[in-house]
Amino acid sequence: MTKTLAAHAAPIALAALLTTAMLFATNALAGHQYRVSAAAQQPAQVVALDLQHVTIVGRRATRA
């Protein structure tokens, strides 16, 4: 029995949503860590904060 288009699209959409959420969460955590460490190094001065981005590169293993 073959799957319908909706049955194929639902897991793909869920995987894309989960991946995007994980990237945003990782980026938020990295930015928070950066701000905490920058503030700890210069407690008496105003700290100029830069944006920090996380990039994840995935590679597929080739099948034999």
The amino acid sitting at 17 is L
Q: Please tell me the predicted confidence (pLDDT) of residue 56.
A: 76
* Whether 11 contacts 3, CB under 8 Å: no
Domain around 62: 1-64
**pLDDT of 49:** 62
Long-range CB pairs of 5-14, under 8 A, 24+ apart, other chains included: none
The domain tally of the chain equals 1
pLDDT tens digit string along 8-62?
888 899 999 999 999 999 999 988 888 888 777 765 555 556 666 777 777 777 7
Identify the pLDDT of residue 37: 82
Return the pLDDT at 24: 92
* pLDDT recorded at residue 47: 53
Residue pair 27/53 in contact by the 8 Å Cβ criterion: yes
User: For residue 23, what are its two tokens?
Assistant: 């990237």
